[in-house]
Amino acid sequence: MDEEFDEKVEDITGLYISAIERYQNGERTISIDEMTGIQATERREKDLPMRPGKVERREFEYIRHGTQTLIANARYCHW
């Protein structure tokens, strides 16, 4: 575990808590996160639709198209 974890948490939460005050002083506060290694896949066969007494069925095999990265951000206070 990171020995400086608590200090880092206080730094980050302090930014969120002071976001309104910072906005009033002309500063912007944004948060950015990324999710790496998302598999880009495609089903090899179409799903079989539901029928009376049967659930929808999906083939487990897929075609792999590599990986993708999702990067998202959020702004705090309006500007």
Q: Which long-range contacts (CB under 8 A, 24 or more apart) does 41-49 make?
A: 41/65
pLDDT at 20 over 70: yes
Write out pLDDT tens, residues 25-76: 998 888 899 999 999 999 999 999 999 999 999 999 999 999 999 999 988 7
CA pseudo-torsion sign 12, 16, 17, 20: positive
Task: Report the pLDDT value the prediction gives residue 44, as an integer from 0 to 100.
Answer: 93
Task: Report the pLDDT value the prediction gives residue 75, as an integer from 0 to 100.
Answer: 81
